[in-house]
Structures are given as structure tokens and as C-alpha cells.
Amino acid sequence: MSIKAVLIDDEKHNLDNLQELLKAYCPQVTVVATALSADEGASIILKHQPDIVFLDIQMPNKTGFDLLRGLSSYDFEVIFVTAFDNYAIQAMRFAAIDYLLKPIDINELQSAVDRAIKKCRLKVQNQQLENLIHLLKSQQNKEEQRIALTTLKETRFVKTSEIIRCESSNNYTSFFLQGDEELLVCKPIYEFEEILKDYGFIRCHQSHLVNKKFVKSWKKEYGDFLLLLNGSEVPVSRNKKDTVKKALETG
């Protein structure tokens, strides 16, 4: 399957380097156009209708996010290529969007391209990208923010306010939702601790992350446990007690 790609970056040497890497290590990808600005990038996306867009975030005048906000549809996959930017990476993790850090690692490039090609075969509107744009537009409304949760069968978009708790099992995390639903996600819990910390979630134990709005009480009869509104009990580890207490007291 031949895949059409466009590359957008304000530095020409970055475009040339990425183009050479794709040619050498991802021969299934054909670069049909490149652009040095967000406005030029939007034009080549509309003109060439690519399958994949490799997009820099930090560009003069308009960012890569600004470019995406200006589009009306997202029937392509995006792989962001960026220097480290904590806010941007948090947003991409929240939406389960692929990104590559500069300088580009060849193995990570190949993995991201392989994932994008698999999604291209489905050829549907990119819901993960829509979720990212929604996140960027509505930072102030965290109660309604959706997080992308990728299971073995699908990617679900779940409101953070509907997540009761998370529990780890090796490199997997179980999400317990309102309505007695459980989702098993193929990522370790520490990744979600970082993503959800600004949405009222507390890491109360090495294996547990809870949404504090569902905490009913703190039980101390046989050790320390949080009793949740759905009746489940979650342990509080000794080294987390002060942090959990402080988080619960702040509302």
C-alpha cells in the first residue's frame, strides 16, 4: 500500500532530514509536498489530500495546532514532529496522537508510520485528531474533557468525569467507569497519572489512581482505604497518605 505524505516544518533542514529518513526507512511512504509555514501547509493538505501529515508544532506566526484548528475535516493521520514541549505532549497523550521528538529516532519513526498506515486502511474521519482539537479549544471545561483510551479492539473516548478509578496490572491499566463498565488499556498506570493529575485524580497507591469526586470516606479500620461511591475500596499506601489527605482537603 503506497501512502501519500506531506511534511510541514518551518526549518528546511528538518524537512530535508525527515524526507531522507522516510525514503531510507519507510519506503511505503511517498512525500508529495512540503511546506515551510502553517498557511502553506494548509494549502498543500487541501491540494494533495494526503494520507499522513508530518507536522511541526512550533512555527512562526501560526503553530501546527493553529493549522489544524482551521481545517474543517480530518480524513488523514497526523504525526507531530516537535522539540520537547510539555504542554503539547500532554495534549497529544490525552488524545492518543502519535508524536516524534527531535532529533528523530528511526525505530520510533517506523513504529509511528506503521500505526498510521494501519489506520489509513480504515479510511475514516480521524476521531483522535478531533479529540485533540476539542481539548485545545476547551481547556477551561475539564469536567467535559474526553480522553482517548485504546483497548485491544477499539479506541474509546471517555469523559474524565465518568472515570471512577484506574488499577494497574503490569503494563496494563483497567479503567472503571460509571455504569459498572471496565476497560482494559494497553498502557501502564504511570502514564495516566501524568495525564489525569489536572483532572482531580489522585495516585493513592502504586497500583491505584482514583477520581477524588467519587471518594466517599477514608477507612482506617484495617489499614488505610478509600471507600468510593460505587462501594469499592482502594488502598492508600503509607508513603502516599500525606499527599492523598492534602488532595482531598483541597476539594
119-129: pLDDT as tens digits: 887 665 566 77
Q: Domains in the chain, start-ordered, CATH in brackets?
A: 3-136 (3.40.50.2300), 149-249 (2.40.50.1020)
Is the backbone peptide bond immediately before 103 cis, with ω within 30 degrees of 0?
Answer: yes
Q: What is the pLDDT of residue 23?
A: 96
Q: What is the pLDDT of residue 138?
A: 60
> What rounded mean pLDDT belongs to the chain?
88
| Type of residue numbered 70 | G
Looking at the chain, the whole-number percentage of residues with pLDDT higher than 70 is 91
| Type of residue numbered 37 | S
- Residues 8, 41 contacting (CB under 8 angstroms): yes
Between CA 64 and CA 103, with CA 99 as vertex, the angle to 5 degrees is 95
Q: What is the pLDDT of residue 144?
A: 67
Burial readout 58-79 (b: 16 or more C-beta within 10 A, e: otherwise): ebeebbbbebbeeeeebebbbb
Q: What is the pLDDT of residue 143?
A: 55
Residue 250 reports pLDDT greater than 90? no
Quote the pTM value.
0.65
Q: Return the C-alpha cell found at 70.
A: 482551521
Q: Return the C-alpha cell found at 35.
A: 511546506
**Residue with more model confidence, 231 or 73:** 231
148-170: pLDDT as tens digits: 898 888 888 899 999 999 999 98
Q: How many whole angstroms separate alpha carbon 232 and alpha carbon 88?
A: 35
Q: How many whole angstroms separate alpha carbon 67 and alpha carbon 58?
A: 11
Mean pLDDT confidence for 51-78: 90
Residues in Cβ contact with 206 at an 8 Å cutoff, skipping those fewer than 6 apart: 168, 237
